[in-house]
Structure 1
Amino acid sequence: MTTTPDLKKTARDEQNGQPETDGESAAHAASAAELLPVATGRRTRAAALELLRPDRGLAVRSALVLVAATGVGLLMQPLLGRIVDLVAEGARRGSVSTGVLTLPVVLLVVVALVQGASTALGLGMVARLGESVLARLRERFVERALALPADRIERAGSGDLTARVTGDVSRVSEAVRSALPELARATLTIVLTLIALAVLDWRFLVAALLAVPVQAWTARWYVRKAVPLYAQQRIATGAQQQQLLETIGGADTVRGHLLEDDHTQRVEKRSHAAVELSKRGVRLVLGFYGRLHIGEYIGLVGVLFAGLVLVREDTVSIGTATAAALYFHNLFGPINAALVLLDDAQSATAGLARLVGVTDLPDETDGPATGRSEDAFVHVRGISHAYGEASPVLHDVDLDLHEGEHVALVGTSGAGKSTLARILAGVQRPTRGEVTMPAGANGRPGAVLVSQELHVFAGTLAEDLRLAKPDATDEELRAALSTVEALTWAEALPDGLDTVVGEGAHSLDAAKAQQLALARLVLADPLIAVLDEATAEAGSAGARLLEQSSRAALEGRTALIVAHRLTQAATADRVVVMEHGRVVESGPHEQLKDAGGPYARLWAAWSGTRESA
């Protein structure tokens, strides 16, 4: 129910005592992001076979249809050769009868029609096969990506995952939709045409094979250079997107600290690296085509020369030699297509390896340990956490939450409150220590986090609410909205719960969007609710409304509340005060307010600010 803000900035804020946000858990990854893994070539091929296995029957049928279509198409060259022989024979007699040409011409038309129909059928089956495999890959990737621990994504940088879910998925999709059917067809044409050349005369096959060493060397040369180049391109594109996301996402901070030139240079540097790699790719492809043409001409000269010799020896007819030349000439397209598709194949393989690298990530337990503590509902022991190589932001924190208790977490900016909240909610894994809490059951989650950073998903208001409970009835949706005092404005929308909200549709202000998140919390009905400054984005009037909505949403459940406004702490069952990543005070509001300690100073400062306002 929460999105990630400017993570790197907030991680630094946690260290430097600057204002913190929900993104306090940010990766301190500005120096070196820990990119998500890339699968090996062997593992990528194995994963592709795994994805294909459920549709192997369709794969076999597709192959048979394409073999038949290609075989029928190869009848054209002998028919054309027969026409040449008939014309040559008629020329020797002094006249050519059009009647003798009728049958081969009709057969040419029939062959063309049958080949066209069967090829269309086969390519359609291959396309359907490819779409099925692609859908399976997408499902696995999205499922695994959504299950990744938040800190793992943060260490890699959001740009890395964004590049995979956009550029890599797109590249693989394009290959599956166009390259796979064309490659299948080209490969079959090459194999069957070579067999046909051998049937005409084995010497035609030998002559045609003169092109193979050049073509094989070209392919090997290209693959050796293309594989690392495309891998570098994908990494460079991910780094470029990451830098753009950081610069645009932190635009206010960049402008506020007059860092425009510095960030422009960073973006320019990343973009220049990506462009240079693209230019290398263009030069590589041009060299690839040049070498292919040399191989084609060598093979064609060989076949023509073999035909000349065999015709002079009266071993084959002029028509047969013509058919052989046409066979080889018709190989130009399939061979070039197959070799050129190496470009798409290598690029798609690099993208597939990056996707498989994510789907193969081990299933790391993202949430806290489960199991009921004897003396507390939630048991936090020895929690320490640091972002990357940075200094720890939490130091051996111990904390207990009793069933039904509402605990307010307060402290100065950078104290570690949001980090502790995210760890307790299972969004962040601690560097050291453990959290023990009851496990969710019967679809009821153990813990849910609601923060000031949230997202209104594009779709109807009802669909947005059902993200928390897909099978919720309209009555349940209205009850949840009513609980958080949002039903009135929700029903006042143009189409009520069917109003389309989110980007490009009906917009919701900060207070309404937060109430929507709280309504999702009610629908999810977790055992433990974690609110991380959930009223911080609203103004004073909106904050009071959200505090009422929050109290209603938390009624009857255990809750940890990172309190942006100390009025939330005043109404909590217990207040926990943090300083520099440690718990320094814990107790009821009134007791701490009168104790003269850190909380009393916070309360005095807060009260003074309110009075002056």
Structure 2
Amino acid sequence: MSPHADKPALQLASFREVMATLKALPANPTPLWWVMALGNMGIMVAATAGSPLLLGRLIDALGDHSAFMRLLWIFIGFLLCEAFFRGVIVPWVMRDISQRYAVDLREAGLKSALQAPVPELLRLGTGAMITRLTRDVTRASDVFGIFGSRIMLLIFMIPATLVSLAFIHPMYLIPGLLVSFLLVPWIKRLVPLSNYVADRESEADARRNARLLDSIRGINTVRAYGLEKWSLGRTRESSWQALQRTGDKVTLLGLIYGESRIMHFLLIAGTMLISAWMLVNGQVSLGQITAALGLIAKLQFFLFDALHFAYNIQTGAVALSRAVALVRMGDKAQSLPIPADVSGPPEVEVRNLSFHYPNGVSVLDGLNLTLAAGTTTALVGTSGAGKSTLAALIAGLQHPTAGQVLVAGHDTATVSDVWTARQVTLLNQEVHLFAGTLREDLTMAAPEASDEELLAALAAAGLATGGVLWQRWLPQGLDTLVGAQAQELSPEVMQIISLARVILRDPPVLVMDEATSEAGSDYARLLEQAATAAAKGRTSLVVAHRLDQAVAADRVLLMEDGQIIEDGPHEELIAIEGGRYAQLWAKWNQPLV
């Protein structure tokens, strides 16, 4: 298990980053909370450490009935106090604060994801993001809610026990020092290994979740192309990887349990040997031996209880670090400037733009291009030419390897993604409708819009009130439920709704990447007309899968192998004898035999 393999997309947050993030959350305890919590903890530690000392005094007072009964009642009081604070008060305090932190972490994580650079979110993946917002936060909250009181008790019990043992007889410190000498290097090896194993387990779970989401979202495509075996195969592979990571965890747990038992034996055996030697030499009484063994027994219980659950605790710490890393993703975006929104259609300029995938494959290399303000440009070309990559770079979904994308003179790499998203809207064939009514979905684009404005936008996008599509798919009109847990709408209706959102949002720049490709032939013309209308009045780039879309554009770009090989209005390009676009147009209009 090499700690350098399977490097995660988002590194763990450091201890300093975790503490700084937790301190900034609303759930961060107030000074009064700390006073009360430490007071409760002090009472619990005093009762826990004091009960063995009282038990030893009880044994030594067996010959004095009145002293024995007085100590017995005090001893019972200590036991009740220990049980109440250790079993009820302190665990409740820890669970309460951990649950408050969980709520704040989820909210902060979602807020950060909404502000984080989009390319980083895409690289992280939906599955990993969901895992960090749900499973990791829940695991951290559960672990520290359950084991937090034990950890705190152990931290306070160690000095309290050492002081008490030294008070009985300094010789009792020897077994503890011996075990500590052996324990410290073992813990130093255990912590990084536990970090590595826990992080790999979480990453494997995230990868499995991502593939399950892919299969569920693309179920129609999987069925259409007969990819059921392929989908099951990749899901099985990721599930086995997750199982193997769990196997690594079980192996590590076995190592922890085995070594902790050895340490436990050495501590108890050493204490008993020293007690026997001092008793024979008259240096301690039976009561003192009982008190010392009671203190050691309680300390070793807390210490080795923590060691037994060390992996759970470490897993909680790793889960917390993963969640905090997501929370801090938005820090970079928050530090970037947010210029004022542009007031009209801006010029979009691409300068010496290059993009290489991580495996070194070059898609674009030194591309230069200017989209004139307020014009519609159609981008055509064969599959793999680089059209979608260029669209994603202009929309800010990818960062260029080199070069610049300038919107209204602003380099999108040097401004906040929030600003870029407000200026540039990307519309593609993947449409997401938010769960709720159609009205709620549309008003996300224009919160102040009236019902009349919403209906007008739908009509402009091709979905008029009372039409066939309206009656079939939107029987309750704007009150029709859409999105998750509602009837799935047809592809063309979902595309129309997305076009209506564009009309309502009215972005200065619109990029449409084969946005109407999912429409059936019966509605293709309707959607193309709606897309053409939506592109008017703004700077638009249309990645066209149908050459009919290029006819209405002000300018047509033909791309091959990441380069623009032909550029001009549709009429001029088809007039070029032997031109590549003219050939494509002729083939497109060739009648079917």
Please give the range of the TM-score, normalised by the shorter of the 2 chains: 0.7 to 0.9
1:545-582: CA deviation from partner (whole Å, max 9, x where unpaired): 32243244334322221222233222233333333333
1:534 offset after TM fit, Å? 1.1
Residue 299 of structure 1 corresponds to: 267
Q: Which amino acid in structure 1 is aligned with residue 565 of structure 2?
A: V
SS at match of 1:327: helix
Q: Paired residue for 2:51, among 76, 91, 100?
A: 76
Q: Provide the alpha-carbon RMSD of the alignment.
A: 4.5
Residue 14 of structure 1 corresponds to: none
Q: 1:187 to 1:395 in 2, by over 3 A?
A: closer
Q: 1:604 to 1:122 in 2, by over 3 A?
A: same
Supply the distance in 2 between the matched residues of 1:543 and 1:89 (Cα, whole angstroms): 101
1:231-255: CA deviation from partner (whole Å, max 9, x where unpaired): 5545555666677778888899999
Contact 2:354 2:364 in 1 (8 A): yes
Q: State the TM-score, normalized to the length of structure 2.
A: 0.79
Q: 1:249 to 1:119 in 2, by over 3 A?
A: closer
Pair 1:605-2:579 in alignment: no
Residue 7 of structure 1 corresponds to: none
1:335 offset after TM fit, Å? 0.7
Q: Paired residue for 1:197, among 138, 152, 165?
A: 165
1:125 offset after TM fit, Å? 3.2
1:422 offset after TM fit, Å? 1.8
Contact 2:499 2:531 in 1 (8 A): yes
Q: Which amino acid in structure 1 is aligned with residue 63 of structure 2?
A: E
Q: Paired residue for 2:191, among 203, 220, 223?
A: 223
Supply the distance in 2 between the matched residues of 1:502 and 1:371 (Cα, whole angstroms): 30
Contact 1:35 1:157 in 2 (8 A): no
Q: 1:192 to 1:368 in 2, by over 3 A?
A: closer
1:462-491: CA deviation from partner (whole Å, max 9, x where unpaired): 443344355666665455434424463679
Residue 423 of structure 1 corresponds to: 393
Residue 413 of structure 2 corresponds to: none
Contact 2:102 2:138 in 1 (8 A): no
Q: Which amino acid in structure 1 is aligned with residue 539 of structure 2?
A: T
1:530 offset after TM fit, Å? 1.1
Q: 1:52 to 1:255 in 2, by over 3 A?
A: closer
Q: Paired residue for 1:175, among 130, 137, 143?
A: 143
Q: 1:343 to 1:588 in 2, by over 3 A?
A: same
Contact 1:452 1:514 in 2 (8 A): yes
SS at match of 2:15: helix
Q: Paired residue for 2:246, among 265, 268, 278?
A: 278
415-424 or 265-274, larger mean C-alpha shift:
265-274
Q: Which amino acid in structure 1 is aligned with residue 11 of structure 2?
A: V
Supply the distance in 1 between the matched residues of 2:195 and 2:442 (Cα, whole angstroms): 45
1:228 offset after TM fit, Å? 4.0
Q: Paired residue for 2:422, among 433, 445, 448?
A: 445
Pair 1:36-2:2 in alignment: no
Residue 105 of structure 1 corresponds to: 73
Q: Which amino acid in structure 2 is aligned with residue 451 of structure 1?
A: N
Residue 89 of structure 1 corresponds to: 63
1:537 offset after TM fit, Å? 0.3
Residue 23 of structure 1 corresponds to: none
Residue 26 of structure 1 corresponds to: none
Contact 1:33 1:156 in 2 (8 A): no
Q: Paired residue for 1:436, among 394, 406, 423?
A: 406
SS at match of 1:89: coil
Q: 1:376 to 1:592 in 2, by over 3 A?
A: farther
Q: Which amino acid in structure 1 is aligned with residue 299 of structure 2?
A: L
1:333 offset after TM fit, Å? 2.4
Q: 1:387 to 1:176 in 2, by over 3 A?
A: same
Supply the distance in 2 between the matched residues of 1:366 and 1:428 (Cα, whole angstroms): 17
Q: Paired residue for 2:432, among 450, 455, 469?
A: 455
Supply the distance in 2 between the matched residues of 1:368 and 1:598 (Cα, whole angstroms): 42
Contact 1:451 1:531 in 2 (8 A): yes
Supply the distance in 2 between the matched residues of 1:398 and 1:276 (Cα, whole angstroms): 48
Q: 1:580 to 1:312 in 2, by over 3 A?
A: closer
1:109 offset after TM fit, Å? 4.3
Residue 520 of structure 2 corresponds to: 539
Contact 2:380 2:545 in 1 (8 A): yes
Supply the distance in 1 between the matched residues of 2:124 and 2:192 (Cα, whole angstroms): 28
Q: Which runs of 5+ in 1 are unaligned?
A: 1-31, 91-95
Q: 1:223 to 1:412 in 2, by over 3 A?
A: closer
Structure with larger RCO (C-alpha < 8 A, sep 6+): 1
407-416 or 395-404, larger mean C-alpha shift:
395-404
Supply the distance in 2 between the matched residues of 1:529 and 1:474 (Cα, whole angstroms): 24
Supply the distance in 2 between the matched residues of 1:442 and 1:244 (Cα, whole angstroms): 33
Pair 1:363-2:332 in alignment: yes
Identity %: 33
Pair 1:324-2:286 in alignment: no
1:539 offset after TM fit, Å? 0.4
Residue 116 of structure 1 corresponds to: 84
Residue 481 of structure 1 corresponds to: 458
Residue 558 of structure 2 corresponds to: 577
Supply the distance in 1 between the matched residues of 2:421 and 2:10 (Cα, whole angstroms): 33
Supply the distance in 2 between the matched residues of 1:217 and 1:430 (Cα, whole angstroms): 46
Q: 1:155 to 1:297 in 2, by over 3 A?
A: closer
Q: Which amino acid in structure 1 is aligned with residue 332 of structure 2?
A: D
Residue 188 of structure 1 corresponds to: 156
Contact 2:439 2:454 in 1 (8 A): yes
Q: 1:316 to 1:466 in 2, by over 3 A?
A: farther
Instruction: Count matched residues.
Output: 570
Supply the distance in 2 between the matched residues of 1:370 and 1:601 (Cα, whole angstroms): 44
Q: 1:129 to 1:475 in 2, by over 3 A?
A: farther
Q: Which runs of 5+ in 2 are unaligned?
A: 411-415
SS at match of 1:404: coil
SS at match of 1:337: helix
Supply the distance in 1 between the matched residues of 2:6 and 2:306 (Cα, whole angstroms): 37
